[in-house]
Amino acid sequence: MRKLRHARCASALGVVLLFILAAFSLLAFHEGSFDAGALLFGGVVLLTVLLSYCLLACFAAHADRLLMLIVCFLYALGMVMQYRISPETALHQLIMLGIGLVGMLLMLILMRKPRIFRILSIPMALLSLGILAALLFVGKESGGARNWISIGGILFQPSEFVKVALVFLLADALTDHTHVKDLLPILLFVMVAISLLVLQRDLGAAMLLAGVFLLVFFVATSNIRATLAAMLLGGAGAYASYLLFDHVRARIAIWQDPWATYSTSGYQIAQGLMAIASGGLWGLGLGLGSPKMIPAYHTDYIFAVICEEFGIVFGIGVIMLYLLLVVRGVLISLNAQDRFSMLAAFGATALLAVQTFVIIGGVIKLIPLTGITMPFVSYGGSSMIACMLLVGILEGIAAQSGTLLEDALIRAADETLSAAQEDATEMECEEDAQ
């Protein structure tokens, strides 16, 4: 059975490699002249995919290869789009991907001993809040949000890593306690973190944190009343911020009718919608769209660029791939061998699911737009590394529960075998006696 499954994964791997090959070959001839750099870059991406797939298979025999393949396809798609938009930023993103993959492997190994993260929960929480608070003073502003920090000349977005910490903190707190009064510390953490993010005007991250908290809280406690109360509280907070802050009101107005304020605030959404509409069903073709007309084309709006050049059918395929990723994540969570792993896996999955829904939903005008990245595809080092860490968590748990399951099976098989042997010897004895 397992061989068959892996065989299917191998052919899917072939499709991913073919996609990379085709896309970068096309990009090499894009400007009418031959660009050897595109082929070279494509080769590196191709090797990265192969390497990440094989390393995973080596390090952890029971890791979820399909999940890894989806992630490989998504980051490869990201690399294609980034290179098509600007080879320089693509190179930067490739380096970040490399760091992310190392992080993923590290996480994979660390997850063999999940206890480490439980012991580290208090330092992790304090560090997260500390950085978020420090951002208020030393943070750099970009795109209206004061959520960047510069360490040694490299810009980081700490909120991305706070999300990963949240996954562990929630799992840790909710493993042992399910009563609200025992959960005050984690509640306090989440509320302070969200407040700090709102103060930095990083509404996307605040929304994400709140969403993931609610999901994991509900799943672990089955406390519908408290969940609904928290949702009402969140709704009231959102409404209050709608009344209090101009920029929130403006955002809702843009969402309702981006064309009314086309020349000013509605420009981005309108441009994104026109890009998707211009692509039609099958797209204008890779390299033939005009992505740079949309603000944030390589980060938040990458989905619009993908739809413009690859078409809506491909866009829906991408959405379905994310769904498949979420399904795999949930399966890993359901198969986890202990409660902490189960909640951590669910938290990581929920984070990826909510983030994907919020950004794609914002781009296609289903919900108001909040600036966050599209996992694995958008440009952004912190986001790429954080998403890879989440994959590391999921794969680590999958590998761990697979190993435990296998051990249990072997033990059970041994027992049956020895029992059978005993039976056999007994029978022999009986036969002898006769």
Partner 1 sequence: MNTKRNIKAMLAVFTALFVLLAGYLVYIIGAYGPYWFASPYNTRVTNQKNTVWAGSILDRNGVVLAYTNADGEREYAAEESLRLATAHVIGDNSGQTLGAEALFAKYLLGFEQSIGEQLSYLVSGEQRRGKDVSLTIDSALCTYASSLLDGNDGAIFLMNYKTGEVLACTANPAFDPARMSEYTTGEYALAEGSMVNRATMGRYTPGSTFKIITTIAALRYLPNVEERAFNCDGPLVFEKESGKLVSGVNPYDEEGELYSKYVLLRDHEDAVHGTLTLAEAFAVSCNHVFAEIALEIGEEKLRQTAESLGFNGTFLFDELVAYAGSFGEAQTDFALAWSGVGQHTDILTPIHLCLITSAIANDGVAMEPKLLLQVSGTSTSAPVADFVPEAYQTLLKGNEAEFLASCMRGVVEHGTGTQAAVSGYSVCGKTGTAEISSAENALSHAWFTGYVDSEAFPYAITVIVERAGGGGTIAAPIAAKVLEYAIVCSQ
Binding positions for partner 1, rule: CB under 8 A = 32, 215, 218-220, 222, 259, 262, 270-271, 273-278, 280, 284-285, 288-290, 293, 307, 312, 315-316, 319-320, 322-323, 326-327, 330, 333-334, 339, 342-343, 346, 350, 353, 356-357, 360-361, 364-366
The four Cα atoms 139, 142, 148, 151 give a dihedral, to 10 degrees, of -90
In the complex, the smallest distance separating the C-beta of residue 131 from partner 1, rounded to whole angstroms, is 29
CA proximity to 64, closest of 133, 96, 111, 15:
111
Task: Note the helical H segments in 111-157.
Answer: 115-119, 121-138
Q: How far is the CB of 405 from partner 1 (least distance, A)?
A: 16
Q: How far is the CB of 238 from partner 1 (least distance, A)?
A: 18
**Between 72 and 269, whose beta carbon lies closer to partner 1?**
269
Nearer residue to partner 1 within complex by CB, 149 or 352: 352
Residue ranges in 257-380 assigned as alpha helix (H): 267-279, 302-310, 312-335, 339-363
Closer residue to partner 1 (CB): 123 or 280: 280
Nearest residue (CB) to partner 1, 147 versus 175: 175
d(CA 70, CA 320): 11
Least separation in angstroms between residue 80's CB and partner 1 is: 15
Give the residue with the Cβ less far from partner 1, 63 or 171: 171
Q: How far is the CB of 239 from partner 1 (least distance, A)?
A: 22
Q: For residue 352, how many other CB atoms are within 10 A of its CB?
A: 23
Cα–Cα nearest to 162, from 131, 186, 135, 185: 131
Q: How far is the CB of 56 from partner 1 (least distance, A)?
A: 24
CA 112 – CA 105 distance, rounded (Å): 11
Nearest-Å Rg of the Cα atoms of the chain is 24
Of 290 and 403, the one with the shorter C-beta distance to partner 1 is 290
Q: How far is the CB of 233 from partner 1 (least distance, A)?
A: 20
CA angle 360, 362, 368 (to 5 degrees): 160
CA dihedral 354, 356, 360, 363 (to 10 degrees): 80
Nearer to partner 1, 82 or 356 (CB): 356
Task: Return the number of the residue (278 or 403) whose C-beta is nearest partner 1.
Answer: 278
Question: In the bound complex, what is the minimum distance in angstroms from residue 79's beta carbon to partner 1?
Answer: 21
CB atoms within 10 A of CB 401: 21
Q: Rounded to an integer, what distance in angstroms lies between the CA atom of residue 290 and that of residue 297?
A: 10
CA dist 75 and 101 (Å) reads 11
